[in-house]
Structure 1
Amino acid sequence: MEPLGQDANDHGQNSVGDGVHPWEVTDMTRLRRFICYGSEMAIYDTKEHRLGMESALALLSLLQEGRGCEVVEEVKRLALEGRPVRTNPSLFALAVCSQHLDLNTRRGAFRALSDVCRAPEHLFTFIQYKKEAKERMRCGIWGRALRKAVSDWYNKQDAMGLALAVTKCKTREGWSHQDLLRLSHAKPANEAIVLISKYIMKGWKEVQGAYADKENSEEVIKVLSYLEAVEKVKHSADEMEVSHLIEEHSLEREQLLTDHLKSKAVWKALLKEMPMESMLRTLGKMTADQVLEPGSSDVAEVCERIQSEAALKKAKLHPFSVLTASENYKRGQGNRGKVKWEPDVDIIKALDSAFYKCFTIFARTEAETQVMAYSEGAIVPCTITEGMSLRQVATELVKIPSGYTDCALPILWASEKTITVDMFIIFTNTACWHGEANPAECLRMYRHKMGIFSKLMVCGLTSNGLSIADPAEDRGMLDLCGFDLGAIEVIRNLALDLI
């Protein structure tokens, strides 16, 4: 259990005045929840569920009230700020807005397409959501506005970035680039986009014939050279040639054939410029395939890169992602148990080091944090300091005798001692028991007594369902079912009053 306290005087928006109810759940609150994690309810679930109109009632209500432009701006804002935990809810909301009766809402949705759909897979998913919604209405989707929006999406891309995107992600959700270019009647904005469009629609041989004897611009020459490398890789069984092409053109794993990934030389070539997140995911396989052998220069280079603060910052890795990669690697086998390896000691040390270098837990980022624990039905202090390692924290926690989780106790404790708490965060791996006092009622009484808008977050680490938060009446309460990187972002968003 971890109640988190911070001086509320630094947060004027948390003050509770007479007649003011900052905890009211509005349709815009429900919309933000939906965009962030795909549900309008005050429950975050680590399992992602299929989206439908029945899960977006607040979105529909806002549209009916004539607030469609506000919805589009909110979707766009959260996408540009990188706030949404999951991409699909934003794409779903934008798709619904793009077919609303209000002309300004539709136009706004199509203008926002390039900001929200940052990769081909996003664009394909958006189109599929539109199709599913339109099928219920028994009408087509490819009107002039969608054709222009899709055409603009391709034309706004950097040529080399687009060449990479269309060769890495060719299809998704039953759609392909060929489908979208054909149905949108796309008119390429420059010669490099013309070349890429021809490649998509007609294939490499047509491109070769069309550009062989032309005087091409420098940009077109670069795109031609890149696409030629992609095509050569497709038809090469020579691991040295494939390795050379990877190194010369910075080709990525998704552009290779499955057979190529059986080669150590190919993996070593990929490793040189492999994105950090991809590298962490494939450490086990590379160790199993003896690409990374104990004491080798390859292991030394990987360890150096994993621990590089500059590389970690550039990759924008969350410490939880590093921790997950570390635990998966230490386990010595893949999730399905087919691939097994002997974890390398140096790699494990490097992962541990990387974790602490990008680690930003509450105790390190909040000056006024108090960590408490449940012990035999009571709240007791827990000595966790900023400089502790994860192992030291775990050692400290296991010293405390465990007890049942009465979610009202930390609120009652803070109220009795008149301690100002902005946000109570409870982590538990046992059943959440209400006890004699209802946590929601205790929180309201605490707010009234202290005069601030305190929040309550309950995270059941192994839970399939929670019912602590008031889903309809109080936006300052939220339940988490399970824990992942998305859960961390949800906690952050609630703390910052974003959901």
Structure 2
Amino acid sequence: MDFHSNLVVFPPDTVPQSAPISANQVRNNAGGFGWKVDDFSRLKRFLCLGSEGGTYYTSEKALTQQNVGCILNLISEGKGTDVVKTIKQFSLEGRTAKQTSILLALAVCCRSSDLTTKQEAYKAVCDICRIPTFLFEFIERCEKQGKTTGWGRAHRNAISAWYNRFSDDPVKLAMHVTKYRQRNSWSHRDVLRLSHTKPVNDAVGVVLRYAVRGLSDAKQMYDKGEPESEDVRKVLKFLSVVDEAKSCTEEDKMVELIRQHGLVREHIPTSLLSSVSVWKELLQKMPMTAMIRNLGKMTSIGVLRDGCSEEDLVVQKVTDRDSLKQARIHPFNVLVALKTYSAGRGEKGKLTWIPTKRIKKALDDAFYLSFKFVLPTNKRYLLAVDVSGSMGCPVMGTPSVTCRDAAAAMMMVTKRTENPDNSTVVAFCDKLTPLDIGHTDDLDTVTGRISNMPFGGTDCALPMVWAKEKKKMFDVFVVYTDCETWFGKIHPSEALRQYRKWSGLWDARLIVCGMSSNEFTIADPDDPGMMDVVGFDSAAPEAMRSFVMGEI
């Protein structure tokens, strides 16, 4: 039976959130009513937030199936090429914290029965699968999509193209092959045998032979004499050094190999992974992502200490906006690093450390720097963070960061961007609490304060209701929530309309910052003064600014 077939719509100011105010509303997972976001908006939520860990109301499996269904709907509507374009854009612009949802969405498109979508998706493989970890996960995702797991021509060609794209820089291919030997139960040997990859030149051929058969076989390709190609000589030299490092037991020797040949942590034997001198040398040219991930380890063994030159180097690197952008460091990953480093222990294992104050401060600064620089709007903001029970779930499957933490962090981006005198912060669930959050408060303090608040039901109308009751004048309401609202006596959209009428601010706007990849929103899609953005999309602050200024 169609729920809406005999729907009676009452005046909106008398309808609680447990009933609809429009025939276009749908029931959310908590039992309340809101609007359903369009499929492209949901695609963007999924790409940014994924479905790992599920939500308070929906299992990970069910949430994933819903989002895959959304992608298939778009493809069936003839929008497959736009889907692929969006996936590629979000990946290349570093707008997503994790690549899992990106790779799943790409695999769905590659396994599509729509030929045009399939072709465009396979063309994007090399750009999106930038490292072997992504390539292996993409392959695994493809194995689980569609009716077959076969390696057809399009699939084999795309994988072969991935390896051959390093024809002009075969040493980089050698680095990839030796740094990321296997992931997701896949190895380069497995992939190369299934893809029947034919190398485009001798240097690539040496790397592929090494990956499949080892160094001795790779060298035998030139057993009749020294190879003429300079690239081949460089590749063989690098691969020989990598194999030498496997059995190295001397710290000084390993330091020299790192310095001369650019070896990385994955090349270091386990016996030397607690060496201070080895880690100090690794740190000099360590990629940004690896450095942030290993801050705890380096602090625990004494590489990073208060006032040392290595601490200076870390602070300089993580607070360089251009370096963060070039490395595609996502704000969420910085937040996770800050939470983990500040805790002085990892989520897994027994590793502990005493964090340094300067590195904690640098990570706090890096969080804001990792967003695109946004100019202030000079509007009056009410920033409202949902602290209800459903917001206590881990976001993106990361135990150390809940949706509530993530919402608080996103709120602080706007708090720091705007004039501190023009923004008020509140937390809400079934009741609302004003918060004394300072413009310069650090993230650890803010997330800790909000995490300790009592939970309750969800009433997303409270920010507007409170502003009207307290006679507060705001140009913009920003609600950070999972949109699972159900508790209130009035719908959020109607509360905003009543606030506009009372205040005379007919252009008062509502921005809903969604913190989960579900299909619901409290923003009325027919009201041009209401907008949905995806929480932890690194482009969200700029989109919000443009909306507030009337540019979109």
Mean Cα deviation higher: 63-72 or 159-168: 63-72
**Structure 1 residues 312, 301: CA separation in 2 closer, same or farther (over 3 Å shift)?**
farther
SS of residue in 2 equivalent to 1:196 = helix
1:365 and 2:417 aligned: yes
Distance 2:288 2:126 in 1: 26
**Structure 1 residues 31, 191: CA separation in 2 closer, same or farther (over 3 Å shift)?**
same
* Residue 479 of structure 1, CA deviation: 11
Map 1:24-173 to 2 at 5 A: 25-38=37-50, 53-134=65-146, 137=147, 139-157=148-166, 158-173=169-184
1:390 and 2:447 aligned: no
Distance 1:61 1:458 in 2: 22
Q: Which of 166, 191, 196 does residue 202 from structure 2 map onto?
A: 191
Q: Is the 8 A contact 1:439 1:468 kept in 2?
A: no
Q: Could you tell me which amino acid in structure 2 is paired with residue 450 of structure 1?
A: W
Mean Cα deviation higher: 43-52 or 407-416: 43-52
**Structure 1 residues 58, 473: CA separation in 2 closer, same or farther (over 3 Å shift)?**
farther
* Residue 453 of structure 1, CA deviation: 6.0
What is the count of residue pairs matched by the alignment? 450
* Residue 51 of structure 1, CA deviation: 7.5
1:450 match:
506
**Structure 1 residues 367, 205: CA separation in 2 closer, same or farther (over 3 Å shift)?**
same
Q: Could you tell me which amino acid in structure 1 is paired with residue 242 of structure 2?
A: V
1:3 match:
none
1:408 and 2:468 aligned: no
1:201 match:
212
1:261 and 2:300 aligned: no
Distance 1:46 1:262 in 2: 42
Mean Cα deviation higher: 321-330 or 100-109: 321-330
Distance 1:421 1:122 in 2: 43
Mean Cα deviation higher: 299-308 or 68-77: 299-308
Distance 2:177 2:271 in 1: 21
* Residue 252 of structure 1, CA deviation: 0.9
Q: Could you tell me which amino acid in structure 2 is paired with residue 424 of structure 1?
A: V
**Structure 1 residues 222, 116: CA separation in 2 closer, same or farther (over 3 Å shift)?**
same
1:300 and 2:309 aligned: yes
SS of residue in 2 equivalent to 1:307 = helix
**Structure 1 residues 321, 105: CA separation in 2 closer, same or farther (over 3 Å shift)?**
closer
Distance 1:491 1:46 in 2: 25
User: Deviation string for 1:20-65 (max 9, x for gaps)?
Assistant: x9x873222222222222359x979999769754542121112222
Distance 1:432 1:64 in 2: 31
Distance 1:56 1:472 in 2: 25
Q: Is the 8 A contact 1:36 1:490 kept in 2?
A: no
Q: Is the 8 A contact 2:297 2:351 kept in 1?
A: yes
2:247 match:
235
Distance 1:392 1:274 in 2: 26
Q: Could you tell me which amino acid in structure 1 is paired with residue 155 of structure 2?
A: L
Distance 2:520 2:433 in 1: 19
**Structure 1 residues 445, 30: CA separation in 2 closer, same or farther (over 3 Å shift)?**
farther
SS of residue in 2 equivalent to 1:215 = coil
Mean Cα deviation higher: 432-441 or 487-496: 487-496
Q: Could you tell me which amino acid in structure 2 is paired with residue 365 of structure 1?
A: T
* Residue 312 of structure 1, CA deviation: 5.6
2:478 match:
424
Q: Is the 8 A contact 1:75 1:93 kept in 2?
A: yes
**Structure 1 residues 146, 381: CA separation in 2 closer, same or farther (over 3 Å shift)?**
closer
User: Deviation string for 1:241-261 (max 9, x for gaps)?
Assistant: 222111211111112222221
Q: Could you tell me which amino acid in structure 2 is paired with residue 165 of structure 1?
A: H
Give the number of the structure with larger relative contact order, counting CA–CA contacts within 8 Å between residues 6 or more apart: 1
Distance 1:59 1:320 in 2: 24
User: Deviation string for 1:380-436 (max 9, x for gaps)?
Assistant: 585744xx34299869x89xx9998853232235567695644513489xx988443
**Structure 1 residues 199, 472: CA separation in 2 closer, same or farther (over 3 Å shift)?**
farther
Distance 1:38 1:414 in 2: 33
* Residue 437 of structure 1, CA deviation: 2.9
Distance 1:49 1:234 in 2: 40
Q: Is the 8 A contact 2:39 2:74 kept in 1?
A: yes
Q: Is the 8 A contact 1:33 1:39 kept in 2?
A: no
2:231 match:
219
Unmatched runs of 5 consecutive residues or more in structure 2? 1-24, 26-34, 370-412, 548-552
**Structure 1 residues 493, 294: CA separation in 2 closer, same or farther (over 3 Å shift)?**
closer
Q: Is the 8 A contact 1:280 1:325 kept in 2?
A: yes
Identity across the alignment (%):
35
Mean Cα deviation higher: 198-207 or 403-412: 403-412
**Structure 1 residues 209, 51: CA separation in 2 closer, same or farther (over 3 Å shift)?**
farther
**Structure 1 residues 284, 48: CA separation in 2 closer, same or farther (over 3 Å shift)?**
farther
**Structure 1 residues 262, 39: CA separation in 2 closer, same or farther (over 3 Å shift)?**
closer
2:291 match:
279
Q: Could you tell me which amino acid in structure 2 is paired with residue 83 of structure 1?
A: R
1:244 match:
256
Higher helix share: 1
Q: Could you tell me which amino acid in structure 2 is paired with residue 334 of structure 1?
A: G
Distance 1:467 1:30 in 2: 6
Q: Is the 8 A contact 2:96 2:536 kept in 1?
A: no
Distance 1:338 1:266 in 2: 21
Distance 1:81 1:114 in 2: 15
Q: Is the 8 A contact 2:332 2:536 kept in 1?
A: no
**Structure 1 residues 308, 466: CA separation in 2 closer, same or farther (over 3 Å shift)?**
closer
Unmatched runs of 5 consecutive residues or more in structure 1? 1-20, 481-485
User: Deviation string for 1:184-207 (max 9, x for gaps)?
Assistant: 121212222112111112210012
Distance 1:28 1:356 in 2: 32
**Structure 1 residues 91, 251: CA separation in 2 closer, same or farther (over 3 Å shift)?**
same
Q: Is the 8 A contact 1:459 1:479 kept in 2?
A: no
Q: Is the 8 A contact 1:378 1:403 kept in 2?
A: no
Q: Is the 8 A contact 2:122 2:155 kept in 1?
A: yes
* Residue 337 of structure 1, CA deviation: 6.4
SS of residue in 1 equivalent to 2:248 = coil
Distance 2:69 2:272 in 1: 48
Q: Is the 8 A contact 1:170 1:176 kept in 2?
A: yes
**Structure 1 residues 437, 259: CA separation in 2 closer, same or farther (over 3 Å shift)?**
same
Q: Which of 150, 166, 181 does residue 192 from structure 2 map onto?
A: 181
Mean Cα deviation higher: 411-420 or 301-310: 411-420
Q: Is the 8 A contact 1:283 1:329 kept in 2?
A: yes
1:356 and 2:365 aligned: yes
User: Deviation string for 1:89-134 (max 9, x for gaps)?
Assistant: 2222222222222222221111111122111121111211221124
Distance 1:57 1:377 in 2: 36
**Structure 1 residues 67, 330: CA separation in 2 closer, same or farther (over 3 Å shift)?**
closer
1:315 match:
324
SS of residue in 2 equivalent to 1:248 = helix
SS of residue in 1 equivalent to 2:426 = strand
